[in-house]
Amino acid sequence: MSLQALQERIREAAARRRALRVRGGGTKDFYGNAAEGDVLDTRGYAGVVSYEPTELVLTARCGTPLRELEQVLAERGQCLAFEPPHFGEGATFGGCLGAGLSGPRRAFAGAARDFVLGAKVLDGRGRALAFGGQVMKNVAGYDVSRLLVGSLGTLGVIAEASVKVLPRPPEEATLQLELDLPEALERMNVWAGQPLPLSGTAWHEGRLFVRLSGSASALQSARRRIGGAALEGDAARRLWCDIREHAHPFFAGAQPLWRLALPSTAAPLALEGAQLVEWCGALRWLRSDAPPEHIRAAAARAGGHATLFRASRKDVEAFAPLDAAKLRLHRALKAVFDPEGVLNPGRMYRAF
Amino acid sequence: MGGAVPAHEIDLARQREVVRRLREFLPERAVLWQEEDTRPYECDGLTAYRSLPMVVALPESEAQVQRVLRACVELGVRVVPRGAGTGLSGGALPLGNGVLLSLAKFMRILRVDPKARLAVVQPGVRNAAISEAAAPFGLYYAPDPSSQIACSIGGNVSENSGGVHCLKYGLTVHNVVRVRGFTIDGEPLDLGAEAPEASGYDLLALAIGSEGMLMVVTEVTVKLLPTPQLARVVMASFDDVEKAGEAVAAIIAAGIIPAGLEMMDRAATHAAEAFAGAGYDLDAAAILLCESDGTPEEVHDEIARMKSVLEAAGATKLSVSRDEAERLRFWSGRKAAFPAVGRISPDYYCMDGTIPRKRLGEVLLFIGEMERKYGLRCPNVFHAGDGNLHPLILFDANDPDELRRTEQFAAEVLEKCIAVGGTITGEHGVGVEKIDQMCVQFGAAELETFLAVKRAFDPGGLLNPGKAVPTLVRCAEYGAMHVRGGALPHPELPRF
């Protein structure tokens, strides 16, 4: 599939004002509000465009399977340091950036948006626009490529993107400690303020798992400092993969799954339902049937926000509401990039 | 460079009107309009451009900032925000008959939260002061532009400033989690969060590096990192610049991300050594400074790996800092490179392009050709780890022909950066300085999009207009002067 073909589809849709549902592997169909419109399948526009391990930069087209891209990196001892979740077999690079989600290492290495260096974007008129570039430092023009990350395809189709990649850590170790949530929050935040090679934390039902990544010598001294019991290699890898991919038993079942993004030091929230806590306390997954406004208010009081991440019911807005100033800016930016409102309308907020 | 901003007459009636309006809510000392008071604000760190502001406003509270902005919108006056005025691209250059909004009085560190590893500061706080305030907790703020003892965090946010530790620790955009402030209409904006992100679009990413054109920032929350227990630096000499470039690639290929990785060519080394006495190898064609930080065990292992990679890459001499004093001495020459060059030439012009590292040899050869073509010397310092090149063209501003040659030299080098797949500015910003090169780096559709983004925040075009993003008309005029390969850039535009 050519870039022109994608552009043509968008131009046509804009001319007829027909909504397009931008879609890669469909592994994140559940995320955001219900999507509507004719499917614009991006999988045909695929392939790694360039990869220079010594430049730490990879450029690929949106339809490139995420698994394939990670394989290419692994062959050269490198990785996407934000550890993106796939949520299924067919996850694509474009979907990964459009959703903007990051895995366990996010609290220590940075989020998807932090690694994006540039993007070729198709706007709602089908124009191909290039922002940023393939270099680490670039302050020419507004940082539109980062704006697009996590915008769920509502501002443009990320046709191609360049990301910073990093060496895979030479060694990993996972430790397990028995702690209640207040004590776990306290320790995670104290450790995060110390020069320790942390690369993941997860607390669930009285157990805290801590992952360390780095040189063998650094891991050794950190293990002494943190204590707990070591988890064997395969079991540890499976644990972090299951948490990232929501294959952990906590995520099973049909009860609504909420994603609460909070200041890491926020006290445990008094909300009904089970929790799994990542990112030193900054990410709290909640299984709860509590009223959405109740959960959103609690998150807001704690200085964060709550996203209805996965639910069978689609009558609730997926994302926390915006204040008046931000809502105006969101609408204005939507009008800049997609004046006919054809790209994933309503997927992020029903209003646009 | 110089002369691009037309001199203007201050409209005295307009000035009286604006002063009267601002004095309704600002004390006398916070509204400057007499020339002896406004003169210090006529330029920022890019001194080749000067323009006297009509009025300087120095509010000290958020409510006052909001009222200044509302008053300016009401009167239709343009506003230019300013931090410490150390910027190198003219982002804080005053606009004719406009108000210069100085945030210099916003000097307070509001909160250091060691547990959450955050500091909440006002925009006028100096970059280095944040790390000083965090030091008792074993924490620091990572981005360290070389002006860090003087530059303000508000200015860093405007320019998305970098420093020598960016490759490992990121730029301003990676280390600022939240900003508060106002749109030009005085509407409060609160972008980002102390949580991992805010809901909705990543407006924080858009605001950082927007050169004061989208909002006025009145509060900044930064991430603090644990101070590494130990840092040591390897200094390596090379008899050939290209070999030094290959050594940089070899370090990365070995899976090492150094805390800092800097290169200086012979001319820069000589200037820096004479100024700082850092102990540099004056016989080397280029030297590399390669820093490792972390726990003592990590640093021990990493330094050993760095040394073996650098040796294999043909280093002619290697020394490793034995203690903190020696590490700082090795860095002192690099950090003082700009003033050092300032001593060997009446003036110097610091450029700021980024290139893919593998094209370094080619770009340095090109700069050598330009030195001969324009008859001007140009030492080079290079943030080698992230490909950010700072060629320093030496000239005498009193010689109009040298100034002209310097401008052409600089323009050719920036366009070379674009041609090899890089960018015209890695960390200094576009401002007024590189606005014409924006026409080369971007096409009409991208520039139109930038201008539309600007209008989304500032429909009336009153907040620092005309900086960073050229109009298409300006590009058409610039393009008419720079015909390359027989093709005009932006052929779709009408010509004047």
pLDDT confidence of B336, banded at 50, 70, 90?
Answer: confident
Q: Work out the pLDDT band at B9, boundaries 50, 70, 90.
A: confident
Least confident span in A43-52, A91-100, A258-267, B146-155: B146-155
- Residue A177 confidence (pLDDT): 98
**Two tokens, residue B65:** 């900032």
Q: Which residues of B touch A168 (CB under 8 A)?
A: 255
CA-based nearest residue in chain A for residue B206: A143
- pLDDT per position as a tens digit, A180-227: 999 999 999 999 999 999 999 999 999 999 999 999 988 998 999 999
d(CA B132, CA B126): 10
Across A150-159, A183-192, B351-360, least confident range: B351-360
Minimal Cβ distance to B115: which of A196, A222, A265: A265
SS3 string, chain A, reads CCHHHHHHHHHHHHHHCCCEEEECCCCCCCCCCCCCCEEEECCCCCCEEEEEHHHCEEEEECCCEHHHHHHHHHHCCEECCCCCCCCCCCCEHHHHHHHCCCCCCHHHHCCHHHHEEEEEEECCCCCEEEEECCCCCCCCCCCHHHHHCCCCCCCCEEEEEEEECEECCCEEEEEEEECCHHHHHHHHHHHHCCCCCEEEEEEECCEEEEEEEECHHHHHHHHHHHCCEEECHHHHHHHHHHHHCCCCHHHCCCCCEEEEECCCCCCCCCCCCEEEEEHHHCEEEEECCCCHHHHHHHHHHCCCEEEEEECCCCCCCCCCCCCHHHHHHHHHHHHHHCCCCCECCCCCCCCC
Confidence band for B480, pLDDT divided at 50, 70 and 90? very low
ipTM of the complex: 0.97
**What is the average per-residue pLDDT within A28-57?**
96
- Whether residue B151 contacts residue B220, with contact meaning beta carbons closer than 8 Å, is answered with no
Percent of chain B with pLDDT over 90: 84
Task: For residue A146, report the phi and psi dihedrals to the nearest 5 degrees.
Answer: -70, -35
CB B221 within 8 A of CB A308: no
- pLDDT bin (cut points 50, 70, 90) of residue A352 is very high
**pLDDT, tens only, B164-182:** 889 999 999 999 999 999 9
Q: What angle do CA B444, B446, A155 make, to 5 degrees?
A: 140
B196:A265 CB<8 A: no
- In this complex, do A113 and B137 lie within 8 Å of one another by their Cβ atoms? no
Task: Tell me what pLDDT residue B486 has.
Answer: 37
- d(CA A212, CA A218) in angstroms, rounded, equals 9
Q: Which residue is it, tokens 């991208």?
A: B446
Measured between CB atoms, does B261 come within 8 Å of chain A? Answer: no
CA-based nearest distance A164→chain B, Å: 10
Q: What is the pLDDT of residue B358?
A: 87
| pLDDT for B491 | 46
pLDDT per position as a tens digit, B428-469: 999 999 999 999 999 999 999 999 999 999 999 999 999 999
Nearest to A143 among B196, B209, B252 (CB): B209
pLDDT, position B8:
64
Mean pLDDT over residues A328-335, rounded?
A: 98
Chains A, B: CB pairs < 8 Å = 256
Whether residues B356 and A214 touch (CB distance < 8 A) is answered with no
Does the pTM surpass 0.90? The reply is yes
Cα-based distances in Å from B434 to B41, B67, B444: 21, 32, 17
Residues A99-122: what's their mean pLDDT? 98
Name every chain B residue with its beta carbon within 8 A of the beta carbon of A57.
Answer: 356
In the predicted model, is pLDDT for residue A331 greater than 80?
yes
Residue B477: predicted pLDDT: 86
The predicted pLDDT at position B484 comes to 40
CA dihedral angle for residue A65, residue A69, residue A72, residue A78, rounded to 10 degrees: -160
Question: Residue B250's pLDDT band (boundaries 50, 70, 90)?
Answer: very high
Between A92-96, A256-260, B99-103, B252-256, the lowest mean confidence (pLDDT) is in B252-256
> What is the overall mean pLDDT for chain B?
92
Residues 154-173 of A with CB under 8 A from B: 155, 166-168, 170
CA torsion angle A160 A166 A171 A173 (round to 10): -60
Q: Between chains, do B442 and A140 touch, taking CB under 8 Å as contact?
A: yes
Neighbours of B198 (CB within 10 A): 22
Yes or no, beta carbons of B226 and A319 under 8 Å apart: no
Backbone angles phi, psi at B58, to 5 degrees: -125, 70
Classify B456 as helix, strand or coil. helix
Q: Residue B385: its chain A contacts at CB < 8 A? A: 136
pLDDT of A146 = 98
- Indicate whether B488 pLDDT > 50: no
Q: If contacts are CB pairs under 8 Å, which of residues 1-40 in chain A contact chain B?
A: none
- A230-246 per-position pLDDT tens digit: 999 999 999 999 999 99
Q: How far apart are CA B453 and CA B441, in angstroms?
A: 18
Residue B182: closest C-alpha in chain A: A325
The overall average pLDDT reported for chain A is: 97
For residue B79, give the H/E element and its range. strand B79-82
Task: Check B195 against A326: CB less than 8 A apart.
Answer: no
Average pLDDT of A5-17?
Answer: 98
Mean per-residue pLDDT for B276-287? 95
Rg (CA), chain B: 23
Q: Check CB contact under 8 Å for A133 and B355.
A: no
Indicate whether B485 pLDDT > 70.
Answer: no
Residue A285 contacts B where some CB pair is shorter than 8 Å:
no
Q: Is B262 on the interface with A (CB under 8 A)?
A: no
Which among B112, B177, B449, B469 is the top mutation candidate for probing chain A, defined by the most A β-carbons within 10 Å of its own β-carbon?
A: B449
